[in-house]
């Protein structure tokens, strides 16, 4: 856990982390980690408000995600941590274990491979490349280990001259032991004193299995017996001295291996700073890789990070809901949510079970993920920012320990919010003001809402209170939103819409759940007429909006079909005209050849062959020659025209200046926030949401577009 994480946990209190189920995200991350260091860091991962550190962490994950998505040949992260080895290396005369030496060599190989990978990609992946600042490529560690160990991880026979001699002696003694033993087995088999298995191993010594009734006939050392006592294990007398010699040789081998490892440890200890860098690099990449694997699973991206407080989530998913629905084979509806300085307090209303809380939690959880250095499941064109603190009041929280009711708990939370909230605070308040008398609680909630608004905080609030919806409509930088409800089937659509409060559909939901109509009508008579009228008005407004949105969608689809049909028609027309042109050219050419042929036939018919007059064909020949000269002249004129055209085309033609239609200055002045405008190209009406210089943000039904002023026409 980094120091800045410890410093900032107060701003991201445990209740917020618990309310938004960030602990589940941490559990997923831990499963992806390889080593204990990364696992421990991920277990205590918390959001930070140290903005430069967050950006660096996000860039690390985004760079590794790019490597994974691009199919780059990134080295496999297969390693074991070097915690024990790093503790032993600085100690004088310390000796690494066989496994420790191999772990260091494997770490050196992996870091070398990573250094090679990033060597030519430093500009492409600058943040990940910076992790290797304290590391360098070397084969010395690997070569030192390979001199001692073979490919199976065992000490080589020739690791030292003495070890080679010891092992040769071990082989020689073992051969003698086996030869003597086999000879004894053959001899005793004839005497019928051996058990069924004939031999066994006891304490690494090869022994005879003798029937206990014949044990006194055998010379040797008794080393044990079977559980039933029917068999006695005896080492032949001829092998006792050899077995003792073998044990002494094994002891010599162990001492020589210890000495070899001691020498190897001294050689490796020279690289202690580099090996320390190995541990830092590999555990950090393990940490980043765990985040990257989560991003791949949840289809996350890095949104555009704004310096100003602004949130624009496009196609946002609640990751826990998305994963649960995916397993269950259900569809998860993406959300579009926007908050900025002009609409920083969002009040969401609508029916229960319509998705209000999920929408609120989606914003909160994605914000916690982002500020923990995690990518988020949104469209890549989304925009997010960093907050100093994210504060929540969600669910039915009671403190039995302090004997606090839900409402008392919420009041204590609200007191804390009022103390710390500022313009870099994101508040997420679910079922705002509930837990007490509706009228009294609603009045107090309205006061709290106004105070939090005056502190310029950002917030998402879900409520059923009409006075909160009304207050959001009155405040300049607050906005209403609602969860859409199918007024025909009386089922929630789980879609969020900005711009108007929603009806709770209390009576409609009651009706679909089987409550008798007589009960519902009786309930209506006991309500304030104005309240019933207002809920009815909201109901009708939502019906009308849903109807208009459907018409708008159908209009857009019809317009798209018309455009496609027009393009198809123009393409076919172009092909037909080209074909017609070719046919006309062919016909003209054929007519020309036909006329020339007729002319020639006429000359041939007039040509006299059976006359004795010397100049009988003179006038015909003169006429024919003149005809040829005229036709030749025509051909040359055509060629000259074509040549002149080609020369003209070679010259750079001056581009015609495109004069854009200038809007009437009076009309330009009329377009303001809230104006109804028409997109000139498609004749589609929309409402201006914001203006930034010449760029206008306009809402066309479901769509929000940024359009240049000159492409818009003022309507009203």
Torsion of CA 258, 264, 269, 275, to 10 degrees: -110
What percent helix, strand, coil does the chain show, rounded to 5? Answer: 55, 15, 30
Q: Give the three-state DSSP class for 399.
A: strand
Pairing of strands 311-316, 389-393: unpaired
Minimum mean pLDDT among 71-80, 118-127, 468-477, 628-637: which range?
Answer: 628-637
Residue 642 pLDDT more than 80?
A: no
pLDDT of 662 reads 45
pLDDT of 6 reads 41
* Mean predicted confidence (pLDDT) in 187-194: 85
Widest distance between CA atoms in the chain = 156
pLDDT of 545 reads 62
Q: Which residues, in sequence order, are CB contacts of 706 under 8 Å at separation 6+? A: 695, 696, 697, 698
pLDDT of 91 reads 92
* Mean predicted confidence (pLDDT) in 531-548: 59
pLDDT tens digits, one per residue of 215-237: 888 888 888 888 888 899 989 99
Residue spans of the domains in the chain: they are 3-138+271-298, 159-252, 304-526, 543-604+617-634, 665-714
Residue 518 pLDDT more than 50?
A: yes
Rounded Cα gap, residues 647 and 637, in angstroms = 16
Rounded Cα gap, residues 273 and 17, in angstroms = 38
pLDDT of 527 reads 57
CA 14 to chain centre: 26
Quickly name the fold that domain 3-138+271-298 has: MutS, DNA mismatch repair protein; Chain A, domain 3 (1.10.1420)
**Tokens 């490349």 identify what position?**
129
What is the CATH number that goes with domain 304-526?
3.40.50.300
Provide the CB-side half-sphere exposure for 139 (13 A, CA).
Answer: 4
Minimum mean pLDDT among 52-61, 211-220, 586-595, 679-688: which range?
Answer: 679-688
Closest C-alpha among 648, 661, 705 to residue 679 = 705
3-state SS, one letter per residue, for 274-285: HHHHHHHHHHHH
Do 296 and 65 touch, CB atoms closer than 8 A?
A: yes
Residue 562 pLDDT more than 60?
A: yes
Element (H, E) at 31: helix 22-32
pLDDT of 547 reads 63
CA angle in degrees (0–180, nearest 5) for 131-136-141: 125
Provide the CB-side half-sphere exposure for 653 (13 A, CA).
Answer: 8
Q: What phi and psi, each to the nearest 5 degrees, are found at residue 393? A: -140, 95
Do 80 and 104 touch, CB atoms closer than 8 A?
A: no
Percent of the chain past pLDDT 90, that is, above it, reads 43
Long-range contacts of 247-255 (CB under 8 A, 24+ apart): 249/166, 249/169, 249/170, 249/173, 250/170, 252/166, 253/163, 253/166, 253/167, 253/170
pLDDT of 698 reads 83
Residue 157 pLDDT more than 60?
A: yes
Equal fold, 3-138+271-298 vs 159-252:
yes
pLDDT tens digits, one per residue of 453-497: 999 999 999 887 778 888 888 888 988 887 776 655 555 666 777
Selecting from 2.30.30, 2.40.128, 3.40.50, 2.60.40, what CATH number does the domain 665-714 have? 2.30.30
Residue 76 pLDDT more than 80?
A: yes
Closest C-alpha among 510, 353, 529, 340 to residue 431 = 353
Judged on CB neighbours under 10 Å (0-12, 13-18, 19+), 232 is: buried
Q: What phi and psi, each to the nearest 5 degrees, are found at residue 448? A: -60, -45
The sheet carrying 389-393 orders its strands as 389-393, 425-429, 458-462, 345-349, 478-486, 491-498
Selecting from 1.10.287.3510, 3.40.50.1820, 3.40.50.620, 1.10.1420.10, what CATH number does the domain 159-252 have? 1.10.1420.10
pLDDT tens digits, one per residue of 105-120: 999 999 999 999 999 8
Tokens of 184: 């004894």
For 216, which DSSP code?
A: G
* Mean predicted confidence (pLDDT) in 66-73: 90
Minimum mean pLDDT among 8-12, 293-297, 300-304, 656-660: which range?
Answer: 656-660
pLDDT of 100 reads 95
pLDDT of 125 reads 95
Rounded Cα gap, residues 506 and 488, in angstroms = 15
CA 685 to chain centre: 36
Tokens of 246: 């073998």
pTM score above 0.85 = no
Element (H, E) at 708: strand 703-708
Q: Report the chain's mean pLDDT, rounded to a whole number.
A: 83
């Amino acid at each position: 856990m980094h120091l800045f994480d410890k410093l900032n946990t107060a701003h991201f209190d445990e209740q917020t982390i618990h309310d938004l189920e960030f602990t589940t995200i941490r559990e997923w991350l831990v499963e992806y980690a390889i080593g204990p260091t990364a696992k421990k860091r991920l277990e205590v991962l918390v959001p930070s408000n140290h903005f430069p550190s967050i950006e660096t962490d996000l860039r690390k994950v985004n760079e590794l995600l790019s490597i994974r998505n691009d199919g780059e040949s990134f080295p496999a992260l297969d390693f074991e941590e070097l915690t024990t080895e790093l503790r032993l290396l600085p100690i004088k005369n310390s000796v690494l274990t066989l496994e420790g030496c191999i772990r260091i060599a494997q770490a050196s190989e992996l870091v070398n491979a990573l250094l090679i990978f990033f060597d030519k990609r430093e500009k492409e992946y600058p943040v990940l490349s910076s992790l290797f600042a304290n590391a360098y490529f070397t084969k010395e560690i690997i070569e030192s280990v390979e001199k001692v160990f073979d490919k199976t991880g065992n000490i080589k026979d020739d690791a030292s001259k003495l070890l080679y001699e010891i092992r040769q002696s071990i082989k020689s003694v073992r051969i003698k032991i086996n030869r003597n033993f086999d000879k004894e087995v053959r001899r005793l088999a004839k005497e019928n004193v051996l058990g069924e298995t004939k031999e066994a191993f006891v304490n690494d010594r090869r022994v005879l299995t003798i029937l206990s009734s014949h044990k006194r006939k055998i010379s040797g050392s008794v080393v044990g017996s079977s559980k039933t006592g029917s068999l006695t294990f005896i080492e032949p007398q001829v092998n006792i001295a050899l077995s003792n010699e073998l044990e002494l040789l094994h002891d010599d081998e162990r001492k020589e291996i210890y000495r070899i490892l001691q020498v190897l440890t001294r050689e490796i200890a020279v690289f202690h700073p580099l090996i320390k860098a190995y541990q830092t690099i590999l555990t950090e990449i393990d940490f980043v890789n765990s985040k990257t694997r989560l991003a791949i699973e949840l289809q996350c991206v890095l949104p555009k990070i704004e310096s100003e407080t602004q949130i624009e989530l496009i196609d946002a998913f609640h990751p826990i809901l998305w994963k649960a629905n995916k397993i269950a084979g259900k569809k998860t509806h993406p959300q579009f949510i926007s908050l900025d300085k002009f609409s920083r307090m969002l009040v969401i209303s609508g029916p229960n079970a319509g998705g209000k809380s999920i929408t609120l939690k989606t914003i909160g959880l994605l914000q916690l993920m982002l500020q923990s250095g995690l990518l988020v499941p949104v469209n890549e064109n989304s925009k997010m920012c960093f907050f100093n603190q994210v504060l929540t009041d969600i669910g039915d929280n009671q403190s039995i320990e302090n004997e606090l009711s839900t409402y008392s708990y919420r009041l204590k939370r609200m007191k804390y919010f009022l103390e710390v909230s500022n313009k870099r605070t994101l508040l997420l308040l679910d079922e705002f003001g509930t837990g007490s008398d509706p009228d009294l609680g609603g009045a107090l909630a309205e006061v709290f809402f106004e105070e939090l608004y005056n502190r310029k905080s950002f917030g998402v609030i879900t409520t059923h209170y009409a006075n909160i919806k009304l207050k959001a409509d009155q405040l300049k930088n607050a906005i209403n939103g609602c969860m859409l409800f199918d007024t025909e089937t009386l089922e929630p659509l789980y879609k969020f819409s900005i711009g108007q409060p929603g009806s709770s559909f209390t009576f409609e939901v009651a009706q679909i759940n089987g409550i008798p109509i007589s009960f519902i009508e009786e309930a209506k008579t006991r309500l304030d007429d104005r309240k019933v009228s207002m809920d009815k008005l909201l109901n009708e407004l939502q019906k009308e909006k849903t109807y208009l949105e459907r018409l708008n969608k159908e209009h857009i689809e019809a317009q798209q079909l018309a455009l496609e049909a027009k393009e198809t028609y123009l393409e076919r027309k172009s092909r037909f005209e080209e074909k017609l042109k070719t046919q006309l050219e062919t016909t003209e050419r054929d007519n020309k050849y036909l006329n020339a042929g007729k002319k020639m036939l006429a000359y041939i018919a007039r040509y006299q062959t059976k006359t004795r007059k010397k100049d009988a064909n003179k006038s015909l020949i003169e006429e024919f020659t003149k005809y040829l000269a005229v036709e030749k002249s025509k051909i040359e004129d055509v060629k000259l025209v074509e040549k002149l055209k080609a020369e003209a085309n070679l010259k750079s033609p001056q581009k015609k200046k495109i004069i854009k239609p200038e809007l009437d200055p009076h009309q330009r002045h009329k377009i303001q926030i809230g104006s109804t405008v028409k997109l000139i190209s498609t004749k589609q009406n929309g409402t201006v949401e914001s203006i930034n210089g010449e760029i206008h943000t306009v809402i066309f039904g479901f769509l929000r577009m940024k359009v240049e002023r000159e492409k818009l026409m003022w309507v009203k």
